[in-house]
A and B are shown apart, each in its own frame.
Chain A
Amino acid sequence: MDKSLSSAEIDRLFIEGDRNLHQGKFSAAIDIFEQLLKTIESDHNQHFNIQRNLVKAYQQNEQSEQAIALCQLMIDSNCNAATLWGTNFMTRLMPNIEQGVVGKPGNQELKEVPVTDNISHHFKIKTLSEFKQYCQDNLLDSLRELEKKRVNTLLSIVISGITCLIATWALCQLIFGILRINNSIFIFHLTALISISPVWIAFCRGCIQVYGLGFKHNIIEVIIKFIDSQGTLKYASNLFLEDKRQTILGFTRSQIFRDELHEPDSLEQEDCVYGSIGQTDIFFAEIVVENIKTGYLNEFEQAEVRGKSSLFRGLFFEAKFPKSFVSRTFILPNTFNSKLASLNNWRGEEVKLEDPEFQHIFKVYSDNQVEARYILSTNLMNRLVQFNQKANRKVYLSFIDGFMYIAIPYRQNLFEPKLFTNMKSFSPLKEYFFDLQLMIGIVDNLNLNRRIWKK
């Protein structure tokens, strides 16, 4: 780097490094700050800020030795602010060290004050290889048993199917024999088969239900325990009555798909996860929301016809948002429907934000332009873009009454055992892990544990 950098260039590079640090690109941040430190003099007004950020970048990048060395350099420097900051930060880097070893004699009064860490809980995102290892260590027996049950279920279904066919044929032949009909009639066979098929389907359903018994407890709950290493989350494959009412209220309050005046006619939920991650209480579940179409008389005006229309099927997430706000803000995927102002009038005004990538993916509506921007800080916009890429499907969000709601539509029933896939293979497990980690990781991905605002 050129030695003769102008003040503006130093500022620009510092901001770039700072941005990298915030975005988690620690190596890039370290490169910039190291080069800057080499370039500028120690009496430069940015020197302390650069040192401070470099120590943080080293710490985040798990380069403890470099962080401690730089901290020591700051402690020994002539700058009071750097010395004080370095002394304090050293206690975080080396919590067990005797402070007298690193502190200056003049700072004795500071050493007696305990340093409190604001972040009491940090959720660690698990990698796929960690999960694979965990499965091999803990889930292999359950998976073997599950695979055995799966093969047995398939065999039962196939054998019962063949038995049904043979029984139908034999029954038909018997009837033809009694009635003395020489030529078997195909339509008769078919009718018999159709009449017997509901029995076979009911039998198959029973088999599949038996196959699924214990799956949620032995597999899904264990995966959740692995992701939530702190053990602060609870899992229930089904929640009834009062809890279901809470979900209905939450879904209605979220107004993601309709305004709050309309409560859905039917809501079914399963695979509920609830508890807290750090200071954030969360709840998510797989839900199916349906509306019952108003009854009308059929063409003979004899019977009332009622139908169901699906409103939402997928994962629904609810959490307390760390900022205070009173207005409603909606974030919708940038589709043709969300672009039509007439369809979204009830959501408020359209909010045009500065981030082009975010604008490309989402459409934002809110009652209050300033509050929408207060909620959607540049940092959160960036995190939402990344979250959307991770989810790789449409994501709907709403911020109402201090809560954040997320709805991710899915076509299929989630967290169910597969019938036609080998359960000992890693692919179905990977799918469960991905979906669960996506939801549990929301708190960390969107930084909901950050508590620096008055609440």
Chain B
Amino acid sequence: MDVVQAPLRSPNDIVLARQLVRRAAQEAGLSLVDQTKIVTAASELARNTVVYGLGGEMTVQLLQEETRKGVRLSFVDQGPGIADLELALTDGWTSGNGLGMGLSGARRLVNEFEIHSRVGEGTRVTITRWK
């Protein structure tokens, strides 16, 4: 399967990440609404990686199973990590000056959502949207 990696170091990388995910979502045959959802989720998570994770990278993977296609994205950083994941996934919770909708909102926009984080080591978020 196609796998593409992209750095997430600066705010400009968030824009490039959105474009990359848009192309992958089109290639996977997602509807316009589903494309918009995963691109928006990617934008939220990419910003988290840049702003809170102090930079990292995104991996884009096109999925092809017998009966379905999809897009899987991973956002990985070696930043400070998240101490309380449950709290971080609550609507309105924010560690910075955001709206606190990024993580919880991104989770609502995709079919599968996985997060692993360790304080002092970093955070990995993986999301999947199926056609």
Asked if A and B bind, the verdict is no
- State the A residues within 8 Å of B (CB): none
